[in-house]
Structure 1
Amino acid sequence: MTRFLHDQFAKDYLEELLTPYGIIQSPRRIPAEVREVDLWFSPHPTFTLSPDSLGILARAIETPALFEPFRNPATPQAILDCLVKLVEIDREWERDSNRQGGSIALGTPPPRLWILTPTASRTLLSGFGATLDLESWPMGVYFLPSTLRTIIVAIHQLPRTPETLWLRVLGRGRVQTQAIEELEALSPENPFRESTLMALNRLKAHLDEDVNPNWEDRELIMRLSPLFDQQLEAAKLSGLEQGLAQGLERGLERGLAQGLEQGLERGLEQGLERGERLVVENLLQFRFGAVDAELAEIIEAILSLPASEFTPLLMQLSREELIERFGGASPC
């Protein structure tokens, strides 16, 4: 169960980081039989991304790429399955590139396969003929023979540098914990920090729903809890600040016409109402990733409760429980 949660987190996380720079298909079906690549990336024609931003990951997406992240160490059979997917993609790629009016531009290189595994033994790596290229790539990045266009990233071997941070987030145990600590230390202005924290918060929310998490997931939940609390507090403050600012602005505008005192009073009232609404919206977004139509419909009913009552409910109840509880309620 939890392995699939971590697999989904890995796909969501990579999709969050890479979407601005190319076309994402996750999953992508392979026509020969029912096979799916975890994540397919095609860079935009005008794609430019400095390696200083996403490090190894930025270099990986300079050309089309298939990503297969593993929560548990990849086995030889799992890697063979990935290579079969690459072969099928190659066949589809060749057919499309040779077809007049195909979607693949002339001269576009075929995709490379990136297998991201938390650990990899020497036996496994040598069995596939994987070798290092330490002149161009850091320790932990292993290349299979060139014809296979496949790279195995042994995340536990990656050096603890900014260049590898965005892949070490997908590691396990101490490796992942260290990456989260480094992520926290980044400037809030870093464009990738917020999206990664959001993905980690969604992972924590899903892990919290597991009635019997393993010890490693329990430790991860404990590590993410203060981070989640910080993000939650920031969301609440942001909502209140936005609401108060908007309310005061409207109040001041009306106050010029109706009297400053009445305008400020009404503005503060509207600001607090708007602030509570933004708090609810931000909490729902943090818990469930987005406020869709179903969640939007229950916001008014939630706001009928005092903030001291609706805040713990939003943190404790699952999506289904919230919809069931507030879906039929009429706002006061």
Structure 2
Amino acid sequence: MTRFLYDQFAKDYLTELLQPLGEVDTSRKVAAEIREIDVYFTPTTQLTSDTIELGLLGKLAATPALIEPFRNAATIAEIRSCLNKLFDIFAESKRQSKVEKKQIAESDLPKLWILSPTASEGILNGFRTNLDIENWGVGIHFFGDYFRTAIVAIHQLPVTQETLWLRILGKGRVQQQAIDELEALPPTNPLRARAIDLLLNLKTTLEVNQNIDQEDRELIMRLSPIYEQKLAESKQAGIQEGIQTGIQEGIQVGIQAGIQQGVNAERRRVIENLLRIRFGILSDDLTRIIEPLSLLPPEEFTPLLLQLSPQELIDRFL
């Protein structure tokens, strides 16, 4: 179960960071047997300041890309599966070029970036990967040119600002170090706010899951102070909003309403995240049940979200 939680987090995280740079398609289906690409990215024609701020991740996103993030070290079979998806896209592009009667250049084909928290020498040697230190530095292991594929061994990336947004997707001490650096960024940094919100969503969903390991618990503990600070900020913002409302309706009533508004907003975010983890893209009906569910305390709505089917939830709350 936790694997799916991290998969959803990685997709949401990459989507949030890459959206300003181009078109992001998560879970794109390819081939007759239906395989899904985690993130398929098509950049805009013009580079932006966001590209530079994303450092190495922005460099990966400079050309069309399949991005396949893994929570645990990618296995031989998983890497082969990623290659199969890439070849399916190559074949799809070739068919499309025939329909449109135009030649597709090799450079127009997407690249595959396999984001693995670690990568053993056996794996790297088995796929005959090579480094390109001059252009890419350490940690990026390239297959032969025509494969258009590389394994990003996140644990090998240098600890620099340029690699931060990839190291957030690492594991253990690598991820914890990246979170420390993320928290140290100026509060005005828009990428900081997006990443922290997604990490806190991950923390919340991990906490309601019973089957977590020590590494998950350590991540929850590391994120807890950030969550408490965020909650305090939300309450303070709610108080300020409540004070403004209270000028017209009574200060005490306004403060209470503001605090409750902050709590309700947090509950709606948790409920939406749980629904997306279980059911993927939300239908209009599932989106509509978020509000009535948020009126319940967490100890009541959490079991319902984990146990009931989409239709059962819709029937119960609509």
Asked if these proteins are the same fold (TM beyond 0.5), I'd say yes
Which residue of the partner structure matches residue 15 of structure 1?
A: 15
Which residue of the partner structure matches residue 262 of structure 1?
A: none
Question: Helix, strand or coil for the counterpart of 1:120?
Answer: coil
Which residue of the partner structure matches residue 236 of structure 2?
A: 237
Which residue of the partner structure matches residue 310 of structure 1?
A: none
Q: Aligned partners of 1:272, 1:234: CA distance in 2, in Å?
A: 14
Tell me if the contact between 2:66 and 2:112 (Cα under 8 Å) persists in the aligned partners.
yes
Bigger Rg, structure 1 or 2: 1
Which residue of the partner structure matches residue 224 of structure 1?
A: 223
Q: Aligned partners of 1:107, 1:246: CA distance in 2, in Å?
A: 60
Which residue of the partner structure matches residue 306 of structure 1?
A: none
State yes or no: 1:65 paired with 2:49: no
Offset at 1:97? 3.3
Offset at 1:48? 2.2
Moved more, 89-98 or 34-43: 89-98
238, 255, 276: which one aligns with 2:259: 276
Q: Aligned partners of 2:246, 2:64: CA distance in 1, in Å?
A: 48
Which residue of the partner structure matches residue 304 of structure 2?
A: 320
Task: Call closer, same or farther: CA 1:184–1:315 in 2, change over 3 Å.
Answer: farther
Offset at 1:90? 0.7
Offset at 1:276? 3.1
Task: Call closer, same or farther: CA 1:188–1:320 in 2, change over 3 Å.
Answer: farther
State yes or no: 1:294 paired with 2:300: no
Q: Aligned partners of 2:82, 2:60: CA distance in 1, in Å?
A: 17
Q: Percent identity?
A: 44
Task: Call closer, same or farther: CA 1:328–1:132 in 2, change over 3 Å.
Answer: closer
Tell me if the contact between 1:283 and 1:314 (Cα under 8 Å) persists in the aligned partners.
no
Offset at 1:101? 9.7
- Two-structure CA RMSD over aligned residues (Å): 3.0
Q: Aligned partners of 1:5, 1:186: CA distance in 2, in Å?
A: 26
Tell me if the contact between 2:240 and 2:255 (Cα under 8 Å) persists in the aligned partners.
no
Q: Aligned partners of 1:211, 1:293: CA distance in 2, in Å?
A: 27
Q: Aligned partners of 1:287, 1:105: CA distance in 2, in Å?
A: 44
Task: Call closer, same or farther: CA 1:106–1:247 in 2, change over 3 Å.
Answer: farther
Moved more, 204-213 or 92-101: 92-101
Q: Aligned partners of 1:298, 1:84: CA distance in 2, in Å?
A: 41
Question: Helix, strand or coil for the counterpart of 1:38?
Answer: strand
Q: Aligned partners of 1:145, 1:196: CA distance in 2, in Å?
A: 33
Tell me if the contact between 1:201 and 1:286 (Cα under 8 Å) persists in the aligned partners.
no
Which residue of the partner structure matches residue 48 of structure 1?
A: 48
Which residue of the partner structure matches residue 3 of structure 1?
A: 3
Tell me if the contact between 1:114 and 1:151 (Cα under 8 Å) persists in the aligned partners.
yes
Q: Which runs of 4+ in 1 moved over 6 A?
A: 104-108, 321-324
Which residue of the partner structure matches residue 279 of structure 2?
A: none
Q: Aligned partners of 1:66, 1:328: CA distance in 2, in Å?
A: 39
Give the partner amino acid of 2:304. Answer: E
1:68-119 deviation line (CA, Å, top 9, x unaligned): 11111111221111111100001111222343399x9999811110000011
Moved more, 25-34 or 81-90: 25-34
Task: Call closer, same or farther: CA 1:316–1:152 in 2, change over 3 Å.
Answer: farther
TM-score, length-normalised on structure 2?
0.84
Task: Call closer, same or farther: CA 1:183–1:288 in 2, change over 3 Å.
Answer: farther
Task: Call closer, same or farther: CA 1:199–1:192 in 2, change over 3 Å.
Answer: same
- The answer for unaligned runs of 5 or more in structure 1 is 252-265, 303-312
Offset at 1:4? 1.9
Pairing of 1:154-303 with structure 2 (within 5 A): 154-248=153-247, 251=248, 266-269=249-252, 271-272=254-255, 274-288=257-271, 292-297=287-292
Give the partner amino acid of 1:25. Answer: D
